[in-house]
Structure 1
């Protein structure tokens, strides 16, 4: 027994000793290795890996079998996963199929919300819905919403009444001041109460720029107009700009600030208010800015460039009675494509220069060039010319352009179409190139906000006649002294271009001779005026005479009518037909002399003739008032010519009509005419709309038809 007890004690002691050794070992293992031990261990592992290990054949076979077993196990696990995924997918499809069967046969479908009746849709519900949070009203976070003031109380939120926002900001400021005084125990003084009442009154007052109380732009003075008013004004008159630092348009003639001679001439001409092109172009012209105007025919473009030109010349030294100034050539040149248009511009220029001593000379073909050269040598401020005749005068030294710094190209696209581009370039190159505005200076002026008005800038150059004579005498006596030389102020060239379209050749001219021009678009360019009613009749050539007679019978005897044809022979034939019908008709075509053409236009304007039969020579630029009807007896070969033909009626805001006889031989313009009528909102005849030539542009590749072959 004693031995057994001794053995038990020894066993307990041994177990206790083993547990202590195990605890000490775990403590040792728990301690991390030092850096030296880690480095030694890594070096040993590298050495072991670098040392080659030689395996016996049995060991290599065992390793290969182990790798093979691992690959087989991995492949089996992958196969089991794929089988399980397929089974899961089949189970989902089976459940979905069962659900569809239940819906089909048991009527178990998704719960749909019943649409409320119209009478119950806006009915007030007194009961709470189970999804609504009834404790929200008791939450202080929602009871005291934080409204952050924008820009420290000076900003406004869009879409909310500005007056109400000002009142709320003033009330919030007053509440903060009262809370601050209550914390400090200070009482509000009389001055504090007055300031608080003043702030509340200012916040409650309507501002002039508030949209709710803003007046119409026609009821405001010019200085009261806002940016929004100008935007509405431009939209009302279909005015659009392309350029920088564009001045605001005119609303009335009083806002132009014309000198007295020009203002009186406008009143004498009976212009009640400016047209849209005049509203936009005159302020730019008064600043001597280069302008490209694109507007519909009959919109008053002539006065839009003549009036700023007269203001510009009024600011220059007088020319009459000063041979040394007259010998340097005119101050301004206006180029027009046709003789008739040039003579018309000359006539209107003289009317607007009635209260000045300016002389306007026309230089056109069909007249004696020697007589025109004599008039040019006598001196004139303004020359209105066609490009070809003016180039001839320059070549023969009948004219010089040494001091011409104001150029107008009217109907520039028409001049290019007629092949006058070399002549136009020759005229522009004959002017002093040193007067072209440098690009750098133009950029500086634009950065400073544009140049000043010509009424202010140019008139400052003009002096009293007596003072100017004294100055010239004083300068003449002191010319020998180099120190007395005074450099005259630089006057840069101003170029104004009006055109109905902008072909590449016109853009090329503009890039070369215009400096940062402002492009003005009035209305929808390339379209007929809204005052012109268009009709197209599909006829054969032998049906045109009867149709012409029917159209003329609907018009009164005193109404002016223009009949356009394509050839001089057709013009004579139609005129003979009209004479046989008893109409007072006259002819206008290129086969007539200049005197005959002028006499025809004069008689038509004076109502000695009520029908004018003309070719395209009168289709552009000729302004005959109160033309009630334009008949295109022959459809022109281009849609541009059609546009300018029908532009002879419906001018200056008056109503007019245009009737076109469309023949089977005019298929090359079917597509363009159909598109033009659709864009202008005019009716398109069904024969034209469904004609094959009107479905695609001439010259386009024909659309290949789909061919279906019969199955065998």
Structure 2
């Protein structure tokens, strides 16, 4: 490598050399962040210069800081407050949980500045949100549906929004937000800076980038569809009816360690959470049928390790940054291969190691093959035997049985038959499942991030 190239690379290994404002740098230091990740080091200088950008990076690599830090640097330099009902910077996210996490991070990065940060999502009072927007906002983090509701009410205008971020843009396309995105885009000024960030790059995403971005810089730090190297992956072949018992065996081998279990459906997630709760595990659930308050309380309790097991649909597959998560279990395989990468990306964060086990029933063989094709490599087998393509489903129900059976397991992931009562259970008689799908988090866990009004 030429000397000048080596010198440039060393410069980019420090936040001080990326063109960020002194206030933002001070907040980074207070947060213990001194060295940028590859996506941050490569993207921030281009964004500070005002370029449109398409950023592709694995989940958990710091994409929020990659767009948030230079955005705040530019807004702080602007020097005056936004006019009533206007928004200077708009960040769109596909889920409430991701929007909340982005708002938390941006608020922390902007600490001590006059920047007004606000989040609007469904499930909260739209009247309260309208009142807050009336004063004007520097940075608005929103889900597309709720933003359109507020625009229809004329609670805000996007005529002065000159900074647009689409975070996890591929998921917004996957869950049907394309028409909402196009409608929102028509309300934005032509002269704006636009950033698209994602971990995968489906064909429709490429078409969206072409229509939204002007002469963009493309920054890619890993091939799309690849999982982080620190995630130890495995697949365990079983029947649908034996999955709950097998899951209890795995959970019992790792008492006190945080685990996320992914299920395809809202009903299935709730049912599984109640079953695990009845078996004595400390468990909560989040899915689309939960109120916003329930989801936030459950996540707060999980972050604080007050519950150790979180059962979720793909609402939790993106954006949840909880470094203590040591295990991810794909109870049901996703039928969209890219979602597998996002799900297992909830572990092995912040430089830690993590393990991800997929339970594969006979009818899920095609889903498994699609995932392996996308990743360009097979997932190691730690239990059971691969099913024949098109085999029967074995859809017997667990019917509330206590864990005890199993299909055999790999030593590395703690499979195999348990000896007596599974480890990790609460002592005494198992109590009935709570109405919100798990151990009820304490009221103090419902505090909202700074910069937001109660909703």
State whether TM-score is above 0.5: yes
- Aligned partner of 1:667 in structure 2 is 365
Asked if the contact 2:328–2:357 (Cα under 8 Å) also holds between the matched residues in 1, the reply is: yes
Kept in 1, the 8 Å contact 2:93–2:167? The answer is yes
**Is the partner of 1:598 in helix, strand or coil?**
helix
The answer to whether the Cα contact below 8 Å between 1:674 and 1:688 also exists between their aligned partners in 2 is no
Deviation sequence 1:16-56 (CA, Å, 0-9, x none) = xxxxxxxxxxxxxxxxxxxxxxxxxxxxxxxxxxxxxxxxx
What displacement does 1:516 show? 0.7
SS at match of 2:173: helix
How far apart, in 1, do the equivalents of 2:271 and 2:69 lie?
A: 42
Q: 2:254 — aligned with what?
A: 555
Q: For residues 366-400 of structure 1, give each alpha carbon's deviation from its aligned partner in whole angstroms, at most 9, with x where no partner exists.
A: 11111111111012111000111111211211011
* 2:35 is equivalent to residue 273 of structure 1: yes
Alignment CA distance shift 1:683-1:249 (3 Å): farther
In the other structure, the counterpart of 2:159 is 402
Task: Indicate whether 1:570 and 2:268 are aligned.
Answer: yes
**What CA distance in whole angstroms lies between the structure 2 residues aligned with 1:690 and 1:677?**
20
Find the aligned partners of 2:375 and 2:56 in 1 and give their Cα distance: 20
| C-alpha distance in 2 between matches for 1:337 and 1:630 | 21
Contact 1:300 1:652 in 2 (8 A): no
Aligned to 2:229: 530
Structure 1: unaligned runs, 5 residues or longer:
1-210, 215-224, 234-247, 320-324, 436-492, 695-712
Aligned to 1:625: 323
Flag the 1:263–1:682 CA change in 2: closer, same or farther, 3 A: same
Aligned to 1:605: 303
Match of 1:520 in 2: 219
Q: Deviations over 1:165-187 (max 9, x none)?
A: xxxxxxxxxxxxxxxxxxxxxxx
Q: Which residue of 1 aligns with 2:200?
A: 501
- Structure (1/2) with the larger strand percentage: 2
Q: How many Å apart are 1:652 and its aligned residue?
A: 2.1
2:169 aligned partner: 412
Q: 1:476: which partner in 2?
A: none
1:683 equivalent in alignment to 2:380: yes
Q: Would the aligned equivalents of 1:295 and 1:525 in 2 still touch at CA under 8 Å?
A: yes
- Within the alignment, does 1:304 sit opposite 2:66 as a pair? yes
TM-score, length-scaled by structure 2: 0.81
1:348 & 1:592 partners in 2: Cα distance? 24
- Specify whether residues 328 and 373 from structure 1 end up closer, same or farther in structure 2 by C-alpha distance, changes over 3 A only: closer
Aligned pair in 2 of structure 1 residues 297, 379: CA closer, same or farther (>3 Å)?
Answer: same
- In the alignment, the residues of structure 1 paired with residue 266 and residue 121 of structure 2 have an alpha-carbon distance, to the nearest angstrom, of 21
Matches within 5 A, 1:196-345: 225-227=3-5, 250-319=12-81, 325-327=82-84, 329-345=86-102
**Structure 2: gaps spanning 5 or more residues:** 392-455
1:76-475 pair list within 5 angstroms? 225-227=3-5, 250-319=12-81, 325-327=82-84, 329-433=86-190, 435=191
Larger fraction in helix: 1
Give me the whole-angstrom Cα distance separating, in 2, the residues matched to 1:678 and 1:256.
35
Change (3 A) 1:369 1:539: same
Q: Which has the larger radius of gyration?
A: 1
Change in CA separation of 1:668 and 1:249 when aligned onto 2, cut-off 3 Å: farther
Change (3 A) 1:685 1:261: same
Cα distance change on mapping 1:692 and 1:584 into 2, 3 Å: closer
Paired residue for 2:396? none
Query: CA 1:690–1:666 in 2, change beyond 3 Å: closer, same or farther?
Result: closer
Equivalent residue pairs, number = 391
Counterparts of 2:362 and 2:115, CA distance in 1 = 53
Higher RCO (Cα < 8 Å, 6 or more apart):
2
The verdict on how the C-alpha distance between 1:503 and 1:555 changes in structure 2, with shifts beyond 3 A counting, is same
Equivalent position SS for 1:498:
strand
